[in-house]
Structure 1
Amino acid sequence: MELDTLYKTYQPYLFSIAYRMLGSITDAEDMVHDLFLQLKTDTNQIKDLKAYLAKVITNRCLTFLNSARKRRELYTGPWLPEPQVHQAEQPLDKMLTDETVSYAFLILLDHLSPIERAVFVLREAFSYEYRDIAEILEKSEVNCRKIYSRAKKKLNTDLPVHPKNTRQVDLIAESFIKASVTGNFEEFIDLLTEDVVLISDGGGKVPAALNPIVNKQRVSAFLKGVTAKGSFIGEVLPVIVNGQKGILQVKEGHPDKVICFELDSQQKTIQRIFIIRNPDKLKHIPIP
């Protein structure tokens, strides 16, 4: 098979693995691109090409993660993954939406070691059998089961792996957009849990809270304060963030921030708000 045909056939699938492993669109794209550039094996001799490529990309991601953990320690403020943003009215490819991991769950995966993350992503996001995971990671099936079990205990959450788009999520996004325009956040604040947490990531490059903001009263004060300072001047638009309704702010023709939410177990109120402001994590977002 020609390299160009190989790339078109397998790039979306390999990117979806790499993004879930790395939490970075830029790094995932680079990783997949480099894989094909360096692909010297005669692919006609490979019995299961998809499995072979999945093995290569997963192990490359593991190597990258092991080195990235040290660099992450020097990051300014909280680290959040790069969001995948689509226009709200844009139809998404069914295969990709079926495999999409919610933004909140992507953050949760950062609590796992690289090998735990690999096993968990392959098992939960792509429904790989343990024997296939064992082949990819060159470990025993028993060992992979133990790693998965350990990862589940670490995460210890009822948070759904895949995003759920409900009318309540739509209402939350609509409420936030209305509040950002009027400056009146009371209706939106009513949708927060008492112990809500707001996490913002500026990467030390733009203003952002250096620590998570905890509880309803403090989050309310923060949102009202930044609004009064003109933080939401510009277009505030509904978008799809990792398969779920979220918000994109555009200022002077450039993405300024992406905002998305994690709901409680009843999917009624907001328990976490994520604000991504680091410009390096927004540069891939298409402006409507």
Structure 2
Amino acid sequence: MTTETATDVFEAHRPVLLGVAYRMLGRVADAEDVVQDAWLRWSGADRADVREPRGYLVRITTRLAIDRLRQIKARGETYVGPWLPEPYVTDFAATAPDTAERAVLADSVSLAVLVVLESLSPLERAVFVLREAFGFPYADIAAMLDRGEPAVRQLAGRARRHVEEGRPRYEVDPAQRRDLTERFLAAAAEGDLEGLLALLAPDVRLVGDSGGKARAPLRVLESADKVGRFLVGAARKGLQDFSVRFLEINGGPAVLVLSGDKPDSVFQLDVAAGRIQAVYVVRNPDKLRSLAV
């Protein structure tokens, strides 16, 4: 196999590898580093006996991601305020034309699910990602992780139960989410508290991630009144001077707020029963670098 062919094979599988690594780590830069390390191993390996490059590359990437995740957990770093995954630009409408497949991919990369995945062990997280997001058979996952298939099935069951118990049950309706996002943005920009309250569920939650490096609530805000008043106050402090772009972030519609050409924040909503159930705001500048225009 020539170097060019090796590159072509790797690039063909790069989206899957990046998808696995990001779901494992919740950090775009770390995921890209893992994929780069996977490329170095692939380019230097004896590929003559590799019959299924996709499985081989996913195995390398998964093991590297597990090592990286263990290193992160071992450092025991404290985080200022609520933590959210780094926003990840997706385009499942183009990459997964099948509606059912698109829904599975979007759910597995949603902010709400990734927050729950943070509490899993590295092995549980790997099994959940490989099985639930990418549909690998248990036997293949067992081979990738050097574990017996019964043990992998146990890990999968434990991880699935944990995720089901921990994640909110919101509807995944892109059209409704986009409509409510546009109405939410308009009401917030105009400082229309009454209009916002009409969109927010009574028990809505606002999770703001700043890492202590930007202005954002250091605790989760709960109730329509608290969330609405916070958003109106933020708008009065200059939101109207910013520009916005709509993107697909983590499988759903989101708003990127720009100050000039510099990303300032990302807003994304979770929706159920026609009302906004959760507002996610990422303002940590370290997590917005990949969104620079």
Do they superpose with TM above 0.5? yes
Q: TM-score, normalised by structure 1?
A: 0.89
Alignment partner, residue 184 of structure 2: 176
Deviation of the 1:232 alpha carbon? 4.9
Alignment partner, residue 114 of structure 1: 122
Cα deviation per residue 1:132-165 (whole Å; 9 max; x = unaligned)? 111111111111111111112222157579x834
RMSD: 2.4
Query: Map of 1:235-246 to 2, 5 A cutoff?
Result: 235-246=243-254
Query: Map of 1:265-276 to 2, 5 A cutoff?
Result: 266=273, 268-276=274-282
Q: Does 1:132 align with 2:153?
A: no
Alignment partner, residue 284 of structure 2: 278
Task: Choose which of 41, 44, 59 in structure 2 pairs with 1:55.
Answer: 59
Q: Provide the C-alpha distance between the structure 1 equivalents of 2:66 and 2:10, rounded to a whole number of angstroms.
A: 21
Q: Runs of at least 4 residues of structure 1 off by over 4 A? A: 157-161
In structure 2, do the counterparts of structure 1 residues 85 and 72 end up closer, same or farther at CA, with 3 Å as the change threshold?
farther
Query: Map of 1:75-86 to 2, 5 A cutoff?
Result: 75-85=79-89
Q: Does 1:21 align with 2:29?
A: no
Task: Say if 2:253 and 2:268, in contact at 8 Å, map to a contact too.
Answer: yes
Which letter maps to 1:83?
A: P
Identity fraction in percent: 35
In structure 2, do the counterparts of structure 1 residues 47 and 59 end up closer, same or farther at CA, with 3 Å as the change threshold?
same
Deviation of the 1:72 alpha carbon? 5.7
What secondary structure, in the 3-state scheme, does the structure 1 residue paired with 2:37 have?
helix
Q: Provide the C-alpha distance between the structure 2 equivalents of 1:43 and 1:206, rounded to a whole number of angstroms.
A: 47
Deviation of the 1:257 alpha carbon? 0.5
Of 219-228 and 95-104, the range deviating more from structure 2 = 95-104
Deviation of the 1:166 alpha carbon? 3.3
Q: TM-score, normalised by structure 2?
A: 0.87
Q: Provide the C-alpha distance between the structure 2 equivalents of 1:86 and 1:124, rounded to a whole number of angstroms.
A: 18
What secondary structure, in the 3-state scheme, does the structure 2 residue paired with 1:83 have?
coil
Which letter maps to 2:289?
A: K
Which letter maps to 2:135?
A: S
What secondary structure, in the 3-state scheme, does the structure 2 residue paired with 1:37 have?
helix
Q: Provide the C-alpha distance between the structure 2 equivalents of 1:160 and 1:9, rounded to a whole number of angstroms.
A: 34
Deviation of the 1:121 alpha carbon? 0.8
Query: Map of 1:1-288 to 2, 5 A cutoff?
Result: 1=1, 2=3, 3-39=6-42, 40-71=44-75, 73-85=77-89, 92-94=94-96, 98=102, 99-100=105-106, 101-155=109-163, 156=165, 164-264=172-272, 266=273, 268-287=274-293
In structure 2, do the counterparts of structure 1 residues 279 and 270 end up closer, same or farther at CA, with 3 Å as the change threshold?
same
What is the count of residue pairs matched by the alignment?
282
Q: Which runs of 5+ in 2 are unaligned?
A: none
What secondary structure, in the 3-state scheme, does the structure 2 residue paired with 1:195 have?
strand
What secondary structure, in the 3-state scheme, does the structure 2 residue paired with 1:203 have?
coil
